[in-house]
Structure formats: C-alpha cells, structure tokens
Structure 1
Amino acid sequence: MLMPVSKRQQIVAEADRLFYEQGFEFTSFANIADAVQISRGNFYYHFKTKDEILDAVIALRLDRTRQMLDDWQQSGEDPKARIACFIQILIVNGNKIVKYGCPVGSLTSELAKLNHQALTRANDLFGLFRQWLAGQFMALGFPQHQADTLAMHLLARSQGIATLANAFDDMAFIEQEVQQLNQWLEQQLAGQAESDNSKES
C-alpha cells in the first residue's frame, strides 16, 4: 500500500526538478510554491530558506542514489553487469541529459561557482558512485588503487559525455560513447584476465 505524499515531500520533489531544470540560483521560492500550488505562507511553514530546501533535495538525491545502487547490486548478475548498469544510465536518462546535463554534475558545478557551503554534501553523490564502482572493480579482481582509478576514469568519462551531449544537443553522441565505454570495460577485463594468467604461469 502506497503512503500518501506529504506536502513537504511534494515541495522537495518539485524543488529537485526545478533545481535540475532551471538551476538552484535561478529557482525562487515563488517558482516552487507555484509548482506545488500552495500559498507562500504555507510554504514557509515547511521551509524558511532556500538553503533548507537545497539540503532536503541533496538528501533526497542521496537516498535515491543509494536505492539505485542497491537495486543494481541485487539485479546485476555479476560485477561486470553492474558496471554496465552505470554506463547504461546515460542512455536511460539520455533525453534529460541532452536537455539539462547531468543532475549531479550540474548541481556541484553551480554550487562550486557560488562557493556554497552545501557543495561538500552534494559531492557525496559522486562519492557514492566512486565507492560503489571501485567495489565492483575490486570484485572483478583489480587491486584497490587500480579499482579506484578505474572508477574515477569512468565517472570522468560519463561527466564529459553528459556535458558535451548537453552542449551539442546530441543524443547520438551519448549512444556512440556508451558503446565505446562498454568496449573499454571489455578491454579492462581482458587485460586483468591476462595479468591473472601471467601470475599463475
């Protein structure tokens, strides 16, 4: 049975959408209140400042990211399949990425420019992906340092793809780059297998 969505949850969900589509700086209290269709007075009952809303949005994104990673952990047949889930998200969210960029990258970039105190918490989103991806590479037999290097490389590639796809409004570019990322993953696994075989012989 689905629990009813509270007014506070509605505010956070709409703020999350608007921060992504319009940017944190250019989203006002009025924008969010209009989207939720509540009065300003009722709005201030739930949140006194936009920074309070930002904290709630980051918490929501962290919770959703943890849930997504847990789902991939359960549904992926093996670490390789789980890493492929991360790569495939560029296709799954492709239309939004082309229009608005990466939700994580766009938020952290904006907060960095604003020198906003919430930047560290927003960066935790990248930290979740980094730690999870490194864990998958370690499960495939890569030593910890190399696994983290590969995780960072994959994060960097995905961010670059999202940025350029958004800049050039090009979904085909995402599809092309996802194919190359999958090939890159196969190459890393082949290299690791060769290394393991040479150690055994």
Structure 2
Amino acid sequence: MKKGKANREAIVAAAASLFWQNGFASTSLADVGSDAGVPAGNLFYYFRTKADLAQAVADVFVMETHAMLEEIAAEETDPRKRLVALVARLSRSQRSRVAYGCPIALCVRDFRITAPQASERAAESFTILIAFMARELGRAGLRPSLALAQARAALAEWQGGMMLAHAMKDATVLAESFRRLERLLAS
C-alpha cells in the first residue's frame, strides 16, 4: 500500500475512534494527527476541513455495513439464518458499545450541525441495516409492510439497548436487548 493511502486510512481510523470515544466537537485535528502518527500540518493534504474528515468516517461506516451484510449473505442462504448471523455479528462488540455507545449513532448526532452531509451519510448505515432485515424477513414470509415495521423495531431495540447499557454502564442491559432482538427477528 502506498504511503499516502496508508496515511489517509490511518487518519480516518484515528478520527473514527476519537470521534466515538471523545466526541466530534472535543476532538481536534491535532488529536487525530497525533493518534494517526501523521503531523497535524499534513492532515490538510488529505482533508481540507474537519467536515471532510467526518465525511470520510461516515463513508467507512457505510462501507463496513455493506461488507458485513455481503459476508452474511455469502455465508448463509436461509433468511432466518442470515438474521441470526446478523445479530451474532452485532453482538461481538458489546464491551465497546457499553463503554462508548454506538459510533454510528453518535456521529449522526455529532456531525448534524457542522457536517450535515456526513451525518446523513452515516445514517445510511441504519437504512442499509433496516433494508437487509426487511428483505430477509420478507423472504421468510412476512408481508413487506410488516417486514419493514419489524426491521425498524429491531434496529430500535438494538440502538435503545446500546444507549441504555452505555448510560448505565451495564452489559446485562445490552445482552438482554440482543435476546429480545433475536426473538423479534425470529417471529
């Protein structure tokens, strides 16, 4: 990998982590450069503004969501097994979600004022997840309107579980939410 591409990826990864852990407003470009091992002055070569960096982080969320769902679709053909696999994938990050909340939801909120396009782009990850769940629920026999409503309820369960678990610093809350999510998607 070329050094420029490696630096850009390191900057975006550092920004995503710092935005998640410290918040967008509290993270300076100097913080990102330091964390990425790139001099702060060189950041402007890759990203002219903090909003441009937010857009790159949002793009990564969308790409990672697509990649996860493509992997699940490649591994499983049965719609119910795909939904079970999705819940299993989402539950892998319970510890960090309890500690910091959902990185996508936080960026959607934090980017909204100063980087609204990045906020909208990050929110696409949720739209993609809902569409995947609705499609698989439909393939499992639910009417399209019910499949969509159930998919939205599933995402709300997951997000609400993360938010409450983070607020209470209680992993049990999120584990219970994943059990409800499994039941919701299995019905």
State TM-score, norm by structure 2: 0.91
Aligned to 1:137: 137
Counterpart in 1 of 2:116?
A: 117
Paired with 1:155 and 1:44, the residues of 2 have a C-alpha distance of: 36
Shift of 1:173: 1.9
Partner in structure 2 of residue 13 of structure 1: 13
Q: 2:60 aligns to what?
A: 60
Letter in 2 for 1:142: L
Structure 1 equivalent of residue 35 of structure 2: 35
Q: Distance in 1 between matches of 2:181 and 2:124?
A: 24
1:138 positional shift: 0.8
Aligned to 1:195: none
Asked whether 1:163 is paired with 2:163, we answer yes
Cα distance in 2, alignment partners of residues 47 and 181 from structure 1: 38
Counterpart residue number, 1:45: 45
Per-residue CA deviations over 1:173-192 (Å, capped at 9, x if unaligned) read: 22222223323333x2xxxx
Matched residue, 2:71: 71
Return the letter of the residue paired with 1:117: P
The one-letter code of the counterpart of 1:162 is M
> Matches of 1:167 and 1:99 in 2, distance apart?
9
Contact 1:90 1:174 in 2 (8 A): no
Unaligned 5+ segments in structure 1 are: 189-201
Alpha-carbon contact 2:51-2:114 (below 8 Å) kept: no
Q: Which 4+ runs in 1 deviate beyond 4 A?
A: none
Q: Which has the larger radius of gyration?
A: 1
Give the direction of change, closer, same or farther, for the CA distance of 1:109–1:117 in structure 2 (3 Å limit): closer
Alignment of 1:174-193 (within 5 A): 174-186=174-186, 188=187
Q: CA deviation at 1:38?
A: 2.1
Q: SS at the partner of 1:141?
A: coil
Per-residue deviation, 1:115: 6.6
**SS of the residue aligned with 2:81?**
helix
CA distance in 2, matches of 1:38, 1:103: 23
> What secondary structure does 2:116 align onto?
coil
One-letter amino acid of the structure 2 residue matched with residue 100 of structure 1? Y
- Aligned 8 A contact 2:137 2:185 in 1: no
CA offsets 1:86-135 (integer angstroms, 9 cap, x no match): 223443110010000011222222234x3742222221111111111111
User: Residues of 1 paired with 2:47 and 2:106: CA distance?
Assistant: 23
Q: Which residue of 1 aligns with 2:104?
A: 104
Count of residues in correspondence between the two structures: 184
Q: Secondary structure at the match of 1:26?
A: coil
Whether the 8 Å contact between 1:30 and 1:40 is mirrored in structure 2 is yes
Question: What's the C-alpha RMSD, in Å, of the aligned pairs?
Answer: 1.7
TM-score of the pair, normalised by structure 1 = 0.85
Q: Map Cα deviations across residues 48-78 of structure 1 (whole Å, 9 max, x no partner).
A: 1100101111111111110000001111251
% same residue: 27
